Structure 1
Amino acid sequence: MVEVMTISKHQPLSPGEVATRAGVAVSALHFYEREGLIESERTAGNQRRYHRDVLRRISFIRVSQGLGISLARIREALDSLPDDKVPTKADWARLSQGWRADLDSRIDQLQRLRDNLDGCIGCGCLSLKSCSLYNPEDWLATTGPGPRRLLRR
């Protein structure tokens, strides 16, 4: 028999309730909180309680991580959301639109990797001088060996 949780619309959620609803471990909630991605309040007994809007934030975090977005970028995005109201669909759309160029660039990079992979695996060179996958567009090699970015031009 499956136990069904009944939660009041305005009642704060316990870490276990949030973890169950969001499909994450309680330790993930604690990690997200330490990283400044979500917030909780404390009861008189010093137990964490979360507002229901944290479920949407956790979903956003998980989807963003699945896309390869860094926690720092996710935190920046979440920090741009309004504090005084629950984020709207337009707020979430604005955030995802901001990452579109980054995702398009990564898609392009992965497609180039896919298209050139046969030749790379076939040659096995991984040459710093000639491999277009290992060292693409290496203009620094023309300036000589060593840490060229640290020297002034």
Structure 2
Amino acid sequence: MKALSTLFFAALVMSACKGPKEDTPVEVAFSPDEEHVEEINTECFRYYGDKDTVLLTTHVDGMKITGTLDYSLFEKDKNTGTIEGEIRDDLIIAEYTFMSEGVTSNRQVVFKNTEEGWKEGYGEIKTVDGIPVYVNMDSLDYSHQIALTPVPCD
């Protein structure tokens, strides 16, 4: 019995001597320190052209994203609303709930992080559960000139 207690005690001491647990590369990448969390948590992006403005404010929580998206495009109705979705690779895929001319609508938006900034993708759409969504996100067109670049949040 004494030998069993000595063996148990030795095993306990050895397990305690392993030192602090080291984070895996995945844990490090997805567990930023507190200062970094505040930096990436809320970001603002804007496109400002001659007569067009698009403003995107994002709040990132892990892979989930929420925020606001406002379009003020020349000779088009102004759209103001919110986004809720996720980040996948270099894409923001979200549902955009917006108000235009007193009517609330929903549609899917997809933004790709390019060298010029975040660009909205356009392509063939279908309606699923009453919401327009893209048929194939891999074939969206990002070739337009509207690129949202980082700006200070107000």
State TM-score, norm by structure 2.
Answer: 0.22
Which structure has more relative contact order (CA 8 Å, sep 6+)? It is 2
The structure that is helix-richer by fraction is: 1
**TM-score using structure 1 length:** 0.23
Q: Which has the higher strand share?
A: 2
